Structure 1
C-alpha cells in the first residue's frame, strides 16, 4: 500500500540551497535571503505524491532519485518523462505556465528536497537578474533533453535508446567499483527492467532481451535490480552520440570521480 509523503517543517540551510544547480553560483547574501523561504522535505520509495502540489510549491532535489512519468489509464502502459537527480528541480512546466500538470511523481530512493512556494519562485525570477541568468541555461538543458528523447524514439532502435539511458544515468551518478586489474566498473542500481523500458520507450520483455545480449557478449553483468557496466566503450559505441551534449556521458578521457 502506498504511503502518503511527509513534509517535514524544517528550514533549509544556505549549504543545502547551494547544492541545487540553479542556485549554486549566486552571491552568498542572495542565497541567505532565499534559504529563509525554503522548506526541507524527505520522501521515501513508495510514498504517494499528489501532483496537485506542483501548482503550489516548486521542488529541488538535494539527494536521491525521482521518476516523473505518465500513464494511459486504458492500457496501463507508463512512460518516463524525466529522471531527476540531486541538483535537479521540478516542475518547470507548471512554473512557466501556471497550469496543472498530470504526472506521476515517483521517488525511486529516499529523497531529500527543498521546496518553496511557486509564486515566490516566480517572483525571484522576475526580480533578480543574476538568478534568471543561472536559471535559463538549466531550462535550456532540460529542453534539449526532451528534444533528444523525442528524436531518439523516432530515429534510433531500442539498443541505442537503452544504451543512452544507461550512460546518462551513470554520468549523473558517477559511481563505480574496482574490477579486475583495477578496471572501473560502473554500477546502475534501482533501475529494473520495467523502469528501463519506460525510460527507453519500449516494453520490459524487449529490454530484458537486449540486456541478456549485452551480458552474453561481456558488455554488462546483470543481477537483481543492478547492472555492472564491464565494457563502457562498447556501450558508448552503441549509443551513437555524434556530438557532445551538456548532459552527454563522459568519455574515457574525462576524469571519473569515485564516490
Structure 2
C-alpha cells in the first residue's frame, strides 16, 4: 500500500553537505561560502516509485532533484485521462509556479524511480532569489529554459503529428539523462531509455497507449529501436532524428543534418 510521504519522510531531519548541494546545476557554480550557507537550510529526502506525494507539500517546500526521475501530471476526473506536464531529472527543480504565485497547484507527483531530493522552505527560496544576485543570475537562465520547453511542448501538440511528437520526446529524454549502452565505438548510435511505459509516453505525447504502441512496433520492425518491457534501446539515432523534423537548434534536442 502506498503511503503519504508528505506526513513522514519529507520532514526527517536528514543532513546535507556542500557536495550534495553542488550536484544541483542551479547551485553548482555559486561561491563556496554561499553554498555552505544554503546547505544549512536544506533537507534531504528520498521518494520511491509508487509512493503517494501530496501536492500540498509544494506550497511549503521547494524541491530539487539530485537523482532519479519524477513525472508531473494532471488528470480529468470525469474521463480519467491524464496528461504529463513535465518530466523532472537530476538537476531539475519544482514547482516554479507555486514559487512565484504562492497558490496551490493541483498536480499529481509520480516518482518513476527512486528519487533523491533536496528541499528548502519556500519562503527561504524566495528570500535567496531576492537577496543574492549571484543566485538570481543562476536561476533566471533555468527559468527561461523551462519556459521555452513549455512553449515547444504546446506548439508541438498543435503543429506536429504523433510520430514527430513521440520522436522528439524520446530524443529529449535521451539528452537529459545522457545514458548510453553498448561499446564506446557505438556510443553515438545506442541509447537506452528506461522507465517510460507506453502509457507514460502517451501522456507525454498527448495521445493514447494504442497509438504509441503501434508507432513503437513500427520502429522496432524497421530496426530503429528495440523494445523490451519498459526499456527502449535506440539502434538508429539518425532515423529518429529525421522523424523529429527539427529545423533549428532547440533546447535538449539534436539538430537534423541537411
TM (norm. structure 2) is: 0.94
Q: Deviations over 1:181-204 (max 9, x none)?
A: 746411111101000000011000
- Cα distance in 2 between the residues matched to 1:251 and 1:112: 34
Q: CA deviation at 1:246?
A: 2.9
Q: CA deviation at 1:174?
A: 1.4
- Cα distance in 2 between the residues matched to 1:215 and 1:9: 47
- Cα distance in 2 between the residues matched to 1:29 and 1:192: 43
Contact 1:171 1:250 in 2 (8 A): no
SS state at 2:24 partner: coil
- Cα distance in 2 between the residues matched to 1:249 and 1:76: 34
SS state at 1:9 partner: coil
* One of 102, 109, 120 as aligned partner of 1:105: 109
TM (norm. structure 1) is: 0.94
- Cα distance in 1 between the residues matched to 2:208 and 2:96: 28
Q: Which residue of 2 aligns with 1:4?
A: 4
Aligned CA distance change for structure 1 residues 99 and 180 (closer, same or farther; 3 Å): closer
Unaligned runs of 5+ in 1: 253-259
Contact 2:66 2:118 in 1 (8 A): yes
Aligned CA distance change for structure 1 residues 18 and 250 (closer, same or farther; 3 Å): farther
- Cα distance in 2 between the residues matched to 1:181 and 1:27: 38
Matches within 5 A, 1:1-259: 1-5=1-5, 6-7=9-10, 8-178=12-182, 182=186, 184-249=189-254
Contact 2:246 2:255 in 1 (8 A): no
Q: CA deviation at 1:180?
A: 11
Range moving further from structure 2, 35-44 or 2-11? 2-11
Question: What is the total number of aligned residue pairs between the two structures?
Answer: 252
Q: Deviations over 1:105-146 (max 9, x none)?
A: 100000000000000000000000110011000000000000
Aligned CA distance change for structure 1 residues 180 and 22 (closer, same or farther; 3 Å): closer
Moved over 3 A (4+): 179-184, 249-252
Aligned CA distance change for structure 1 residues 33 and 213 (closer, same or farther; 3 Å): same
Contact 1:218 1:231 in 2 (8 A): yes
Contact 2:249 2:255 in 1 (8 A): no
Unaligned runs of 5+ in 2: none
Higher helix share: 2
Q: Deviations over 1:198-239 (max 9, x none)?
A: 001100000000001101111101111111100000000111
- Cα distance in 2 between the residues matched to 1:87 and 1:234: 29
Higher strand share: 1
